[in-house]
Amino acid sequence: MKLWGGRFEEGPSEVFERFGRSVHFDGRLIDCDIRGSQAFARALERVGILSAAEREQLVSALESIRVEARDPKFLAGVTDEDVHTVVIRLTKERAGPVADKIHTGRSRNEQVSLDIRLWLREEIDRASAYLAGLMNALLDCAAKYPDAVIPGYTHMRRAQAVLWPHYLLAYFEMFSRDFERLQQARGRVNVMPLGSGALAGSGFPFDREAIAKELGFVTEVGAAAVTNNSMDVSADRDFALDFLYAASTTMLHLSRLAEDWILYSSEEFGWLELGDGVTSGSSLMPQKKNPDSLELIRGKSGRVFGELTALFVTMKGLPTTYNRDMQEDKEPIFTAADQLCASLEMASVVIDSAKLNAAKPAAAAEESWVVATDLAEALARNGTPFHSAHQIVGRLVLDSVRSGKKPSDWDAASLVAFAPEFTPAMAALLTPSEGMKTREIRGGTGPRAVSAALITARARLVALTR
């Protein structure tokens, strides 16, 4: 069955039919497509195109298809053009000729927009729930090691000591921005397009607000959210791009976390022990315990960025309004949503499984010169201009590197002997966890600042998921 054809003398070639078919992937939208058609049947009744009995016939035929379509094999072997066509064909088989009225004043252009919006809205909610779970896992991991000290890195060189919870809270911030981005994308997705027709607006006086409310397209204050311009609806995939961008930044953050943890769990670092359940062995080397779960997250991030790029490039240069190119929007969205949710779920499990061997990063901080900035700032606090303080500590580090001394090889007397600007009290700062106490600033790694940030983070997470 076709939803068009009167104007043609010959049917499409077998090759074109195969080439243009999308049902093998857009069949995923069948539940959304049917819910949209059920709401549309009610709208048709309200404008007098369907009687109550006809509407009932259509709605219940659609419902029977919807229920059966929960079986993943339901669409196996189907050769209709797309999901909309398959639903109409089946409706006709079940409800008879009244099904021919369902496309009155409706175009597939607005229908596909509606379907994707309904589908994305649910996927965004699913991803948001996984994301909140991941943020919770980060906070739990922070709570397990409240005092653990690690060297923080810039340029992959030991820079300054920070608390392990401070490091985890950095990711909490990234993911909370991702949560916001997903919600912003949801706001743009959650607008009802029906009534737009193919591009010019429907020729029937539908109560668009009523359709919107029926399908849950409402704002936070309960107002119906409907689109403003029919040409825009037919042309627009911004809402899908917004989702893909939100998915991409989330994957970017997951990928960087994965990279950190791959390093931190290596033999070279030895900070983290990942659970057996999230690591793999080697078929050849019996000793191996590989961080495959994290590597896969890092790998999948590239795919998701690819999907964003794919849709961006597909949309670029399309003349207003709908063009068939836009059928290529679906696989990027499906792939991105699948990989995003799977990666978020995996990352939470990895974090829950991990044990921090706190002595390792603490030793790494102690044997390096992560305390150098603390010393220079102490000199500056005591009146030495910072530039001179920087020079003095730089010379202290150079001297130590040459003579093979660690910070702990210095004491009050030797420091003061090295440079008169040092005071005996400054020797305390040779211990990494001491210097941190000077960083009691909002957003800093001071222990009290971090405790407060953890409490705030918990509250923010509860507020996000309410």
Active site residues: 155, 282
Q: Of 109 and 339, which CB lies nearer to ligand ARG in the complex structure?
A: 109
22 binds ligand ARG (CB under 6 A): yes
d(CA 12, CA 381): 81
Does the bond joining 321 to the residue before it have cis omega, within 30 degrees of 0? yes
d(CA 432, CA 158): 12
Give the binding range for ligand ARG (CB under 6 A) out of 108-116, 206-214, 305-313, 446-454. 108-116
Q: Of 83 and 379, which CB lies nearer to ligand ARG in the complex structure?
A: 83
Give least dist CB 312 to ligand ARG, A.
17
For the segment 45-84, give every residue that binds ligand ARG (CB under 6 A).
Answer: 82
324 binds ligand ARG (CB under 6 A): yes
Burial class of 179 by CB neighbour count within 10 A (0 to 12, 13 to 18, 19+): buried
Give least dist CB 186 to ligand ARG, A.
21
370 binds ligand ARG (CB under 6 A): no
Q: Are 376 and 389 in contact (CB under 8 A)?
A: yes
d(CA 25, CA 252): 26
Give least dist CB 225 to ligand ARG, A.
22
Binding mask 24-43 for ligand ARG (x = CB under 6 A): --x-----------------
Q: Of 142 and 337, which CB lies nearer to ligand ARG in the complex structure?
A: 337
Q: Of 109 and 348, which CB lies nearer to ligand ARG in the complex structure?
A: 109
CA distances from 461 to 311, 346, 444, 458 (A): 32, 20, 20, 5
Give the binding range for ligand ARG (CB under 6 A) out of 38-46, 284-292, 318-326, 363-371. 318-326
Q: Out of 141, 247, 326, 365, which residue is the one contacting ligand ARG (CB under 6 A)?
A: 326
Binding mask 272-311 for ligand ARG (x = CB under 6 A): ----------------------------------------
Residue 311 zone, left/alpha/beta (φ > 0; ψ -120 to 50; rest): alpha
Sign of the alpha-carbon torsion through 151, 153, 159, 165 = negative
Give least dist CB 48 to ligand ARG, A.
27
Q: Which of 264, 461, 450 shows the shortest CA–CA distance to 350?
A: 264
Q: Are 161 and 438 in contact (CB under 8 A)?
A: no
Q: Alpha helix locations (H) across 368-428?
A: 372-381, 386-403, 412-418
Please name the residue that has the structure tokens 């059928």: 327
Give least dist CB 6 to ligand ARG, A.
15
Q: Of 170 and 318, which CB lies nearer to ligand ARG in the complex structure?
A: 318
For the segment 109-128, give every residue that binds ligand ARG (CB under 6 A).
Answer: 109, 112
Q: What angle do CA 364, 366, 368 make, to 5 degrees?
A: 70
Q: Of 87 and 278, which CB lies nearer to ligand ARG in the complex structure?
A: 87
Give least dist CB 329 to ligand ARG, A.
7
Q: Of 70 and 324, which CB lies nearer to ligand ARG in the complex structure?
A: 324
Q: Of 238 and 409, which CB lies nearer to ligand ARG in the complex structure?
A: 238
**91 C-beta neighbours (distance < 10 Å), count:** 24
Q: Out of 35, 42, 55, 108, which residue is the one contacting ligand ARG (CB under 6 A)?
A: 108
Q: Which of 402, 414, 419, 410 shows the shortest CA–CA distance to 366?
A: 410
Give least dist CB 64 to ligand ARG, A.
23
Please name the residue that has the structure tokens 């791959």: 262
Distance in Å from the first CA to the final CA of the chain: 46
327 binds ligand ARG (CB under 6 A): yes
Please name the residue that has the structure tokens 């709570």: 143
For the segment 152-181, give every residue that binds ligand ARG (CB under 6 A).
Answer: none
Q: Which token pair is 72?
A: 């993943």
3-state DSSP call for residue 218?
strand
322 binds ligand ARG (CB under 6 A): yes
Sign of the alpha-carbon torsion through 378, 370, 159, 293 = negative
Give the residues lining the site for ligand ARG (CB under 6 A). 22, 26, 82, 108-109, 112, 322, 324, 326-327
